[in-house]
Amino acid sequence: MAFNFTAFTYIVALIGDAFLIFFAIFHVIAFDELKTDYKNPIDQCNSLNPLVLPEYLLHIFLNLLFLFCGEWFSLCINIPLIAYHIWRYKNRPVMSGPGLYDPTTVLKTDTLSRNMREGWIKLAVYLISFFYYIYGMVNSLIST
């Protein structure tokens, strides 16, 4: 039993993942509010857009840690999501500030349901990886 860089990585990943789960929950709630006519799309986009890049950066940061300590499997299960994030950000609507969501199109049913689905799927992914990170942490703590 030893506390090494891998164990440290997994602990950081656990904390980071908890934040990501919060981001995902916030995302789902925000779009549900839009759907149920509870909030103005302009306000909602203004509150969502600043959170997009921090979420992506945090996720990439966790994976950089995995890369440095050679946790290839953990890295691999996250690569599709990174690729999706990059693709998503490249195809964002024309806007001057950071973020993804455009108040004029966010209420289109297609966009709304896609964003909703994206939120749920990401929540599931983060949750599953959360448990995997716990396993990884325990594993790295007891393996040596």
Partner 1 sequence: MATPFSGQKPPNLAPNPAKMYGSASVASRPTPAGQRIPYGVPPPTNPEQQSQQNNNLQNAPPPPRAGAVWPPSLPNVAAPGAQPMMPPAQQTSQTYPYSQVYQPAPQQQPPPPQPAVQPPPPGMFGTQPAGAPLQYQAQAPPQAYGQHPQQQPQSAPGGPYGTSGPLNVAQQGFSRLWGQDTIDLMQNRHILTPATLPPPKVVLHNQFHESINCSPSIMRCTLTKIPESNSLLQKSRLPLGIVIHPFRDVNSLPVIQCINIVRCRLCRTYINPFVYFVDSKMWKCNLCYRVNELPDDFQFDPATKTYGDVTRRPEVRSSTIEFIAPSEYMLRPPQPAMYLFLFDVSIIAQQSGYLEAACAVLNRHLDEMPGDARTQVGFICFDSFVHFYSMAEGLNQPHEMTLLDIEDPFLPRPDSLLVNLKECKELVRDLLKQLPKRFAHTHDPGVRLGCCSAGCFQANGELSYSKRNLNHREYCLQQASGGRITVFQSCLPNKGPGALEPREDPNNRSAKDVAHLNPATDFYKRFALECSGYQIACDLFLMNQQYSDMATISGISKHSGGCVHHFPLYQKTKPHMVDSFRSCFKRYLTRKIGFEAVMRIRCTRGLQVHTFHGNFFVRSTDLLSLPNVNPDAGYGMQISYEESLTDAKTICFQAALLYTNSEGERRIRVHTVCLPVTASLPEVMHSADTEAIIGLLSKMAVDRSVASNLSDARDAFINATIDVYNAFKIAQNLPSGQSGQLIAPRSLALLPLYILGLLKHPAFRVGTSTRLDDRVYAMDCMKTLPLDQLMKYVYPELYKIDALIYHARNSNISSNQDDDEDEDEPLPELPRLQLSAEHLDSRSIFLMDCGTLIMIYVGLNVPPDVLEAVLGISSTAELGDYVYGLPNVVSNENDVLKRFILRLNYDKPYSALVQIIRDTSTAKGQFIERLTDDRSESSLSYYEFLQHIRAQVK
With contact defined as beta carbons under 8 Å apart, do 82 and 60 qualify?
A: yes
**Contact between 110 and partner 1 per CB under 8 A:** yes
Smallest distance from partner 1 to CB 27, Å: 18
Q: Judged by CB under 8 A, which stretch of 20-28, 31-39, 71-79, 134-142 contacts partner 1?
A: 31-39
* Rounded (5°) CA angle 62-65-69: 145
Widest CA span in the chain: 55
- Encode 29-59: b = buried (16+ Cβ within 10 Å), e = exposed: ebbeebeeeebebeebbeebbebbeebbeeb
**Contact between 103 and partner 1 per CB under 8 A:** yes
Q: Which is nearer to partner 1, 32 or 118 (CB)?
A: 32
Q: Judged by CB under 8 A, which stretch of 21-29, 39-47, 123-131, 135-143 contacts partner 1?
A: 39-47
Choosing from 4, 104, 139, 143, the residue that interacts with partner 1 (CB under 8 A) is: 104
**Contact between 80 and partner 1 per CB under 8 A:** no
What lies within 8 Å, CB to CB, of 87 at 6+ separation is: none
Smallest distance from partner 1 to CB 43, Å: 10
Q: Which residues in 50-128 belong to E strands, given as ranges?
A: none
Binding region for partner 1 (CB under 8 A):
34-35, 37, 40-42, 93-96, 102-104, 107-110, 112
